[in-house]
Amino acid sequence: MAQSLKTIILAVTAAFLLSGCNAKPADSALTSEQAISLLDELFMEELKQSPEYLTYLGMRERYDEWNDISDAASERGLVMTQRHLAQVKAIDTSALNASAKLSVRMFIEQSEQSIAGHQWRHHNYPVNQMRGVHSMVPSFLINQHLIANYQEAEAYIGRIKNSALLMEQLLVQLKTVKRKALFRRNLFSLGCLNPLIIFSPVRPLMLLMSNLTRILRTALFLPTFAPK
């Protein structure tokens, strides 16, 4: 009985050792081609979180959607970036060629910058007199959303309908900026355009923009802090 038990233990141990010899190499031992393939996979995972970016690249996935600009989506993106960064940092670059090493280095630097900048995600102007989500929507539909068949036309209509949710998320962002009082007043100040005012042909346009942006500022509940 003891001899049989010993034989079973030796057999199991041998099988375990043999399976270990046939195991796939860890991420740290990737070849240059495998490292590039991993970076591509991580990029595609990130890309699929952005319907707008997919459209910019000519892809038709999530063709009736807009980017999710909510704080919840931002937090999910942060977690994904942190996971990707850990995976790439685990790669042993000593055996990689120069091109693969550069790709890994760039991926790490961009991920680290994205993570470091997450805490400042509300320190921006979601809407201003030059650009913003409100003006991006019609521009995107005109210039990026191509229609070649019935399904793409349906997706176009779907994007128009879904823009309501996008604007709701934008309003939340604007209220967050107001609540945190992150910026000085005169967000839509004509002062930033003063160099252009010296040219008389554009003066009426600048004055019109100033009046329109004051109306927009009031309508969107943006903060109005006194200039220093």
Q: Is 8 a domain residue?
A: no
Beta strands in the chain (DSSP E): none
7 domain residue, yes or no: no
Q: Where does the pLDDT of residue 209 fall: very low under 50, low under 70, confident under 90, or very high at 90 and above?
A: low
Same domain, 25 and 109: yes
Comparing 28 with 225, the larger pLDDT belongs to 28
- Report pLDDT digits (tens) over 142-170: 999 999 999 999 999 999 999 999 999 99
More confident residue, 123 or 146: 146
Count of domains in the chain?
A: 2
- Of the listed ranges 43-57, 89-103, 145-159, 193-207, the least confidently predicted one is 193-207
Angle (nearest 5°) at CA 33 between 30 and 35: 45
AA letter at 99: S
Rounded-to-integer distance, Cα 227 and Cα 164, Å? 33
Residues 135 and 168 in one domain: yes
- Residue 8 pLDDT more than 80? no
Share of the chain above pLDDT 90, in %: 56
Q: How far is CA 164 from CA 66, 146, 168, in A?
A: 10, 21, 6
pLDDT exceeds cutoff 80 at 221: no
Residue 20's pLDDT is 42
Residue 96 burial (C-beta neighbours within 10 Å; 0-12, 13-18, 19+) = buried
Q: Are 127 and 220 in contact (CB under 8 A)?
A: yes
CA angle 17, 20, 25 (to 5 degrees): 160
Q: In the structure, what pLDDT confidence band is assigned to residue 21 with cuts at 50, 70 and 90?
A: very low
DSSP, collapsed to helix, strand or coil, labels residue 132 as strand
Least confident range of 44-48, 49-53, 214-218:
214-218
107 CB-contact burial (10 Å; exposed 0-12 / middle 13-18 / buried 19+):
buried
What confidence score (pLDDT) does residue 131 get? 84
pLDDT over 50 (residue 215): yes
Question: Which DSSP state fits 63?
Answer: T
Out of 145, 163, 182, a domain closes at: 182
23 or 223: which leads in pLDDT = 223
What values do phi and psi take at 132, rounded to 5?
160, 175
Q: Based on the fold, state whether residues 94 and 202 are members of the same structural domain.
A: no
Residues 155 and 188 in one domain: no
| Residue closest to 127 by CA, chosen among 194, 184, 206, 188 | 188
Residues 36 and 114 in one domain: yes
pLDDT at residue 89 above 90? yes
Are 201 and 104 within one domain? no
Say if 13 falls within a structural domain: no
Q: Please, how many CA atoms are within 13 Å of residue 162, restricted to the half-sphere of its CB?
A: 17
Instruction: Please determine, for residue 180, whether its predicted confidence score (pLDDT) is greater than 50.
Output: yes
DSSP state of 221: T
Cα distances (angstroms) measured from residue 190 to each of 91, 179, 219: 51, 24, 18
Sign of the dihedral through C-alpha 19, 86, 110, 55: positive
Cα–Cα dist 73/96, whole Å: 34
Q: Residue 107's domain spans which residues?
A: 21-182
For residues 203-225, give the mean pLDDT: 54
Clarify whether residues 146 and 72 are in a common domain. yes
What does the pLDDT average to over 67-80? 96
CB 126 within 8 A of CB 174: yes
Mean pLDDT of 59-78: 96
Query: Is the pLDDT reported for residue 126 higher than 60?
Result: yes
